[in-house]
Amino acid sequence: MEEKSCDCIIIGAGPGGLQAAIHLSRYNRKVILLDQGGGRTRHALHIENYLGLEITSGKELVDTGIKQIQSFGAEFRREHVASVMAENGFSVTTEKGRYQAPYLIVSCGVVENLPKIKGMNKFFSRAIFTCVDCDGYHTTGKKLVILGDSLDAMRLAFAMRQMFTPDITLILPAGLMPDDHAELLAEDGIAFLAGVPQEFLGDTALTGVKLADGQEIVCEVVMLSYDYTLNDSCLAGLSLERDGNGTQISTSPGCETSVQNLFALGALKAGKAQAIIAAGQGAMVGIEINHRLLGL
């Protein structure tokens, strides 16, 4: 096992972790960034709400960010973090090494809870979306199906109706929707069906959703409402305060968690999951950690 120490360890090469690494390494601080690969940002095919970049992909954003941090001397390591302990600062263990630092930034993100539906990979991020802030705009004026497993999907349907398209069919598991809620949807012209989605249809373009009972619902785009799971298993050894739902990590406005000198960025923490927001948090935290290192 390799043993190394540095000023700050960063877990996760999302926009937040990368931006923090840029700031810290440009103060000539020693930074190790550990990332296992994959990640939500990489799945974003078309990011067009990031200032200064008319259109980019998450992959391009991350790959350029990795080159950028390396150019300033940060050490990038493709490793999976198994555990984090708060002892003498922070001790982070991967399959290849043990790393020690007085400051730790976690930017590990989340994974979407995607239902098993045939054709998901083919259309994901092209015509099947999970994030209104990211991709709602791409549904403007289109024939939309919303799939979900809770009444959050109904709230999403009303929001999509107001902002993007009047042509919406909401599909939920049987027994979930109270009758009076279905009437409210009908008043807004939103169609409702109880059913189990089985397959996304279409060769190159999405043309519809097939249900387990054989019905085929014609559509051009799909929004999914199935919530997320945090990539936080490596933090199990720390007792971090969580938000009201007990899910996302609570932080101060400066992104510090309930464990001193441990900062959380991006979708892992309570707040809005957007690339530019995570990057802003990363810049803020990088500057703050440098101030603490200066100790002046």
Ligand X SMILES: Cc1cc2nc3c(=O)[nH]c(=O)nc-3n(C[C@H](O)[C@H](O)[C@H](O)COP(=O)(O)OP(=O)(O)OC[C@H]3O[C@@H](n4cnc5c(N)ncnc54)[C@H](O)[C@@H]3O)c2cc1C
Side by side, the strands of the sheet bearing 128-129 are 128-129, 221-225, 144-148, 168-172, 191-194
Give me 277's structure tokens. 């927001």
Half-sphere exposure of 19 (CA within 13 A, CB side): 19
Look-up: residue for tokens 């979930």? 176
- Rounded least distance, CB 45 to ligand X, Å: 7
- Rounded least distance, CB 91 to ligand X, Å: 15
What whole-number distance in Å separates Cα of residue 50 and Cα of residue 15?
Answer: 11
- Give the phi and the psi of residue 96 in degrees, each rounded to 5: -110, -20
What whole-number distance in Å separates Cα of residue 269 and Cα of residue 88?
Answer: 24
Angstrom distances, CA of residue 162 to CA of 142, 167, 168, 178: 13, 11, 11, 22
Residue nearest to ligand X (CB): 14
- Rounded least distance, CB 184 to ligand X, Å: 29
Select 129 or 192, whichever has its Cβ closest to ligand X: 129
Mapped onto helix, strand or coil, the DSSP state of residue 235 is: helix
What percent of the residues of the chain are helix, what percent strand, and what percent coil, each to the nearest 5? 30, 30, 40
Select 36 or 139, whichever has its Cβ closest to ligand X: 36
- Rounded least distance, CB 192 to ligand X, Å: 26
Select 30 or 43, whichever has its Cβ closest to ligand X: 43
Select 32 or 171, whichever has its Cβ closest to ligand X: 32
- Rounded least distance, CB 111 to ligand X, Å: 8
Select 177 or 273, whichever has its Cβ closest to ligand X: 273
- Rounded least distance, CB 177 to ligand X, Å: 27
Select 131 or 190, whichever has its Cβ closest to ligand X: 131
Give me 242's structure tokens. 């969580």
* DSSP result, 183-225: HHHHHTT-EEEE--EEEEE-SSS--EEEETTS-EEE-SEEEEE
Contact residues toward ligand X (CB under 6 A) are 11-16, 34-41, 43-44, 47, 49, 58, 80-81, 107-109, 125, 130-131, 134-135, 231, 234, 266-268, 273-276, 278
Select 15 or 197, whichever has its Cβ closest to ligand X: 15
Select 124 or 192, whichever has its Cβ closest to ligand X: 124
- Rounded least distance, CB 295 to ligand X, Å: 29
- Rounded least distance, CB 226 to ligand X, Å: 12
What whole-number distance in Å separates Cα of residue 125 and Cα of residue 222?
Answer: 10
* DSSP result, 114-160: ----BTHHHHBTTTEE--HHHHGGGGTTS-EEEEESSTHHHHHHHHH
